[in-house]
């Protein structure tokens, strides 16, 4: 049987993991691997260094290569490389969520024109199979909501803050020491990584192009131990949630931000670096997939799985995997965060004077906000008190207006935090 010839772009943790798995598969031949540093010592037994190149265009221009595996990440030069590969008739397997979120429309348009397949199971949730199931076995369903933990770094940090009462900085340092967080953790802790993933997943689930530029994004850097403790006291855990949902009027609400999640909720029980995706649709109802969302072996599992599906299809069909073609023609009508409705957690620093809670209640009432719970969390040395408010479902713009009005009152010293609540 003729072997499928592949080239790999990127040979870091994931690329090395993919290489090692492919060495166990007989009908795949690795022709070239593009690396940044060709002289770097590779800790791989019996590794043939002659297949290395520091020019990634040698991979995408090699006439013998059938499939390009791209696991380098980033938009540049990956975008130009994959466009060249597609134009040269090569199929693509990628784990590059940023590239697909930002430039996926162009790549999928070009691939459709050239009858080329792009597979990207590893781009959303590492080892959790979600892309292919949504496109195949779940295709009978109308999916209306996604709620997910899609970033292991932030979930690890929040878990340690909850379980060990660590500060954000201490939990981040621990995550970095264990290799869960990069030296520059911005992409994870500020929600960029999760926003790329939810844009991809929402696009295929709702069958409309969801723009990364219209996704509201908020990270976890403002989460304090007092918020973690207040959430505990109220029966919640704080999680970074990536959410997408179809509203009654057909508009799409897609966002990433921390949320208080009721402790009885399945997502509240997902800890450490684990990822989890909850889909709601008809007729399936509610479906939850949980597992490792990153790392060499889980990601390699999805990359090589895509490759083997492609290898099987290429032997039997001139138009392989038509169900995997993405719909980027219809653009989703995405709403802004100010037009969303949520329950809210508001942490307020107020003077310890009679009437402070009354002022908060009055301002909330003026702005169409009903209060579900309000509690005072003790007296600070400066004679201020932390007051925690949980609202009933309210419009975001009304809540923001109320907070501005509160800050004009002499009794309200600061709004320490505003988080949305998932019940």
User: Could you give the CA distance from residue 311 to residue 292 in angstroms, rounded to a whole number?
Assistant: 25
With respect to residue 410, please indicate whether it lies within any of the assigned structural domains: yes
Spacing of C-alpha 344 from chain mean position: 22
Mean pLDDT in the chain? Answer: 94
User: Are 266 and 414 within one domain?
Assistant: no
Let me know whether 221 and 76 are in one domain.
no
- Specify whether 10 is located in the same domain as 94: yes
pTM given for the model: 0.95
- pLDDT tens-digit series, residues 22-69: 999 999 999 999 999 998 988 898 899 999 999 999 999 999 999 999
Is 328 inside any structural domain?
no
**In this structure, are 28 and 170 located in the same domain?**
no
Q: Examine the domain organization and report whether 181 and 256 are in the same domain.
A: yes
Tokens 């989460």: give the residue. Answer: 223
Tell me, rounded to whole angstroms, the distance of Cα 223 from its chain centroid: 19
Judge whether 289 and 130 are in contact, CB under 8 Å.
yes
Give the total residue count for the chain.
423
User: Does residue 335 lie within any of the structural domains?
Assistant: no
Q: What is the pLDDT of residues 339-366, one digit of tens each?
A: 999 999 999 999 998 889 999 999 999 9
Specify if 260 maps to a domain.
yes
Residue 17 confidence (pLDDT) above 80:
yes
pLDDT in tens, 87-114: 999 999 999 999 999 999 999 999 999 9
Same domain? For 310 and 270 the reply is no
Q: How many independent structural domains does the chain possess? A: 3
**pLDDT class of 294 with cuts at 50, 70, 90:** confident
| β-bridge pairing 384-391 and 341-351 | antiparallel
- In sequence order, the 6+-apart residues with CB closer than 8 A to the CB of 229 are 165
Which segments within 19-137 are labelled E, that is strand?
A: 28-34, 52-53, 67-70, 91-94, 118-119
Q: What pLDDT shows up at residue 416? A: 96
Q: Once rounded to an integer, what is the mean pLDDT over residues 230-246?
A: 97
Contact 229, 235 (CB under 8 A): no
97 and 37 assigned to the same domain: yes
The rounded distance, in Å, linking the Cα atoms of 414 and 416 is 6
Under DSSP, the state recorded for 251 is -
Residue 1 pLDDT greater than 70, yes or no: no
Same domain? For 282 and 366 the reply is: no
Q: Which two tokens stand for residue 31?
A: 């022709």
Helices H / strands E in the chain, number of each: 14, 17
CATH number for position 408: 3.30.70.260
Domain identity same for 140 and 286 = yes
Buried/exposed code over 327-358 (b: 16+ C-beta within 10 A; e: otherwise): ebeeebebbebeebebbbbbbbebbeeeebbe
* Same-domain pairing of 9 and 50: yes
Q: Is residue 330 part of a domain?
A: no
Looking up tokens 């400066």 gives 382
Write down the pLDDT at residue 91: 95
- Cite the active site residues: 197
User: CB-hemisphere CA count at 13 Å for 177?
Assistant: 7
DSSP conformational letter for 284: T
Q: Which has more confidence, 314 or 160?
A: 160
**186-228, pLDDT tens digit by residue?**
999 999 999 999 999 999 999 999 999 999 999 999 999 999 9
352 and 401 in a common domain = yes
Q: Residue 316: its pLDDT value, please?
A: 75
Report the percentage of the chain scoring pLDDT > 90.
87
Domain that includes residue 398, residue range: 340-422
Q: How confident is the model at residue 377 (pLDDT cuts 50, 70, 90)?
A: confident
Q: What percent of the chain has pLDDT over 70?
A: 97
Residues in Cβ contact with 356 at an 8 Å cutoff, skipping those fewer than 6 apart: 350, 385, 387, 411, 412
Is residue 56 situated within a structural domain? yes
Q: For residue 321, what are its two tokens?
A: 């995997």
Q: How far is CA 111 from CA 55, 346, 402, in A?
A: 23, 47, 49
* Cα atoms in the Cβ-side hemisphere of radius 13 Å centred on 69: 36
CA distance 223 to 171: 12
Tell me the pLDDT band of 149, cut-offs 50, 70 and 90: very high
Tell me the DSSP string of 339-384.
G-EEEEEEEEEEESSTTHHHHHHHHHHHTT--EEEEEEEEE-TTSE
Checking DSSP bridges between strand 28-34 and strand 52-53, what pairing results, if any?
Answer: parallel
Q: Check which CATH number belongs to the domain holding 178 and give it.
A: 3.30.360.10
Q: How confident is the model at residue 318 (pLDDT cuts 50, 70, 90)?
A: low
The CATH number assigned to the domain holding 50 equals 3.40.50.720
For the stretch 111-147, pLDDT in tens is 999 999 999 999 999 999 999 999 999 999 999 999 9
Looking at the predicted structure, is the pLDDT value of residue 312 above 90? no
Same domain, 121 and 135: no
Residue 198 lies in a domain: yes
Residue 329 belongs to a domain: no
Enter the tokens of residue 300: 């390699």
Which range, of 206-210, 298-302, 324-328, averages the lowest pLDDT? Answer: 324-328
Rg (CA), the chain: 24
* 283 confidence band (pLDDT: 50, 70, 90): very high
Q: Calculate mean pLDDT across residues 161-168.
A: 97
Is the dihedral angle over the CA atoms 94, 95, 98, 101 positive or is it negative?
A: positive
Q: What is the C-alpha separation between 351 and 407, in angstroms, rounded?
A: 12
Q: Which of 292, 308, 332 is the last residue of a domain?
A: 292
> How far from the centroid of its chain's Cα atoms is residue 179's Cα?
18
pLDDT for 323 beyond 90: no
């Amino acid at each position: 049987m003729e072997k499928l010839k592949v080239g790999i772009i990127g040979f870091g943790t994931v690329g090395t993991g993919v290489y090692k798995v492919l060495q166990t598969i007989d009908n795949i031949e690795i022709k070239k691997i593009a690396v940044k540093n060709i002289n770097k010592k590779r800790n791989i037994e019996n590794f043939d260094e002659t297949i290395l190149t520091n020019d990634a265009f040698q991979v995408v221009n090699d006439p013998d290569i059938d499939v390009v595996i791209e696991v380098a990440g980033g938009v540049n030069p990956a975008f130009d490389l994959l466009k060249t590969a597609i134009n040269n008739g090569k199929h693509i397997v990628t784990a590059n969520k940023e590239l697909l979120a930002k430039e996926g429309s162009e790549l999928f348009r070009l691939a459709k024109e050239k009858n080329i397949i792009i597979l990207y199971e590893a781009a959303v949730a590492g080892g959790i199979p979600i892309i292919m199931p949504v496109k195949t076995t779940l295709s009978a369903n109308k999916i209306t909501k996604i709620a997910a933990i899609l970033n292991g770094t932030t979930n690890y940090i929040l878990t340690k803050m909850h379980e060990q009462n660590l500060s954000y900085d201490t939990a981040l340092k621990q995550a970095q020491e264990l290799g869960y967080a990069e030296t520059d953790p911005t992409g994870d802790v500020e929600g960029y990584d999760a926003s790329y993933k939810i844009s991809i997943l929402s696009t295929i689930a709702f069958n409309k192009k969801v723009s990364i530029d219209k996704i509201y994004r908020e990270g976890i850097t403002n989460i304090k131990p007092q918020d973690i403790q207040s959430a505990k006291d109220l029966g919640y855990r704080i999680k970074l949630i990536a959410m997408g949902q179809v509203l009654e009027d057909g508009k799409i609400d897609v966002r990433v931000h921390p949320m208080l999640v009721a402790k009885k909720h399945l997502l509240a029980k997902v800890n450490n670096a684990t990822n989890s995706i909850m889909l709601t649709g008809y007729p399936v109802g509610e479906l939850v997939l949980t597992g490792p969302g990153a790392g060499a072996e889980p990601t390699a599992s999805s990359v090589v799985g895509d490759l083997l599906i492609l290898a099987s299809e290429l032997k039997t069909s001139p138009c392989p995997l038509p169900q995997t073609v993405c719909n980027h023609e219809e653009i989703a009508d995405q709403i802004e965060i100010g037009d969303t409705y949520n329950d809210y957690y508001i942490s307020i620093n107020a003077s310890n004077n009679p009437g402070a809670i009354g002022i908060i209640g009055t301002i909330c009432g003026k702005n169409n906000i009903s209060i579900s719970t309000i509690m005072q969390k003790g007296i600070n040395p400066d004679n201020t008190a932390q007051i925690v408010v949980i609202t009933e479902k309210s419009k975001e713009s009304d809540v923001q207006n109320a907070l501005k009005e509160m800050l004009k009152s002499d009794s309200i010293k600061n709004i320490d935090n505003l988080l949305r609540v998932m019940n």
